[in-house]
Every structure is written in C-alpha cells, then in structure tokens.
C-alpha cells in the first residue's frame, strides 16, 4: 500500500529557518511516538510523513562527526563570501548549500516503511541516479561513502549529490543536496565531506547547459515516489 507523504516546496529559505521548521515536524513525530509507547497504545492520529524541497542562500554546514578545520574560511572571509556557517546535528562532515542546489529533507517515520537506515540511504541515492539518467548522466556510488558520484571507479570521480541524515526513534530529518545549477566555486572554501582528493560537479557542468530547476525537482520528486512507494498529498 503506498505511503502518504505531505510534499512541500519552501523555495529559497534561510538555513536556520528551514532547520527550525524541520525540528518542529521532527519533534511532533518523535513525541507522538514516545507518548504512544509510554501508554502502550497505538497513536490516535497517524504520524504524518513529509518531503520538503528547498534552496538555501550560501551556507556551510558541519555534521556532528565532522572536522571544523574542513572549513577553510575565517569569520571575515565568510562575511566577504556572503555565507553563513552552522555546526548541525546530522551525520557526515562539511558541505555547502546555495542557490541552484536542490536540497531535500525527508521527515519520515521509517517504522511505518522499513527499519533499515542503509536501505533508506540507498533508495535516496537510487532516486537521484535515476533522475540523472533521465538527462543522460550516469550516476553511481563510491564504495565507503554516501551520496551520488560520477565515474566513481576512475581518478576523475566527482560528487554531484551529498547526503547527511539524522535518525532518532526511526524518524528521519536532514537529507540530500543535489548540485543542479550550483556555483561550484564555493566548494573551494571547504574540504567537501572531508574528502580532499575528489572533485565536486553539477548537472550544469556535466550537461554543458543550465537545466530547468523546476523540471529537475519534479522528476526527482517522482523518482523518490517510485523508489519508496509514496503517494503525495
């Protein structure tokens, strides 16, 4: 039976504001689950699933297992780059978000879908891989790392989509960042995901033209639905 998911597009939104909104949805889900378990009752209202798409102004975020030294700018240089910086509560190391990058935040109760975080990440990756294939871009996986890569088995391996998630009581938040028409120069200010010997790319760079952002978003939305058996509300 398909899983009903509330889809929202927040447009271009400040990172802190989006994080706060995620936390509200995440807290609602986890508190409802905890209350149900404490009382040994099933939740009276089904716990909603959410998928959020958005873009952010220039920002660098550092996962809880990351190294702050992988940000190569000081405070003055951050201001000059018109960027902000946040240590956050997802997994992974440092990454960049900015205009032209499609950021996805699935806020799901995996206990209602499947209790396998590795499967969750692989299905997110597969959704991106299939969307890229629609444009003739061959995406793949780099063994030992999350995200989607191009030519992962060659010295020219380059990352096109980063992933970093948080999962508590099987409720997820944070998610993925796909470089569509992203200004790749900002990645020079970090050691992306703590990997210092691999390049970062975008759909625009690979295609040689700027793909329509809304079209990419819609195709990826449908690929996610197909992989997870979602129906959108």
User: Which residue in 148, 104, 114 sits closest to 229, CA to CA?
Assistant: 114
Is 193 among the catalytic positions?
A: yes
Residues in the chain: 233
What Cα–Cα distance (Å) separates residue 55 from each residue in 101, 159, 184, 214? 6, 18, 15, 12
List 54, 161, 167, 193, catalytic entry: 193
190-206: b (≥16 Cβ within 10 Å) or e: bbbbbbeebbbbbbbbb
Q: What are phi and psi of 115, to 5 degrees?
A: -100, 75
User: By the 8 A CB rule, do 233 and 49 touch?
Assistant: no
**What is the token pair recorded at 215?**
């079209």
Query: How far apart are the C-alpha atoms of 76 and 88, rounded to whole Å?
Result: 21
Q: Which residues are catalytic?
A: 193
């Amino acid at each position: 039976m398909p899983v009903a998911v509330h889809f929202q597009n927040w447009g271009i939104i400040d990172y802190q504001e989006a994080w706060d909104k995620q936390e509200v949805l995440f807290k609602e889900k986890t508190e409802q689950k905890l209350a149900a378990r404490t009382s040994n009752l099933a939740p009276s209202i089904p716990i909603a699933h959410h998928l959020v798409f958005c873009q952010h102004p220039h920002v660098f975020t550092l996962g809880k297992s990351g190294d702050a030294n992988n940000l190569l700018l000081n405070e003055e240089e951050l201001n000059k780059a018109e960027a902000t910086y946040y240590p956050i509560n997802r997994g992974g190391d440092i990454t960049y978000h900015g205009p032209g990058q499609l950021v996805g935040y699935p806020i799901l109760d995996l206990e209602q879908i499947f209790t396998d975080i590795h499967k969750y990440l692989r299905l997110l990756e597969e959704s991106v891989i299939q969307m890229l294939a629609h444009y003739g871009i061959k995406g793949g996986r780099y063994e030992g790392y999350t995200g989607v890569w191009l030519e992962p088995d060659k010295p020219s391996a380059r990352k096109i989509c980063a992933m970093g998630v948080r999962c508590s009581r099987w409720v997820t938040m944070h998610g993925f960042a796909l470089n569509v028409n992203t200004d790749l120069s900002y990645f020079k200010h970090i050691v992306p995901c703590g990997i210092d010997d691999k390049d970062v790319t975008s759909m625009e760079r690979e295609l040689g033209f700027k793909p329509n952002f809304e079209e990419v978003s819609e195709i990826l939305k449908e690929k996610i639905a197909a992989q997870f058996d979602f129906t959108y509300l």
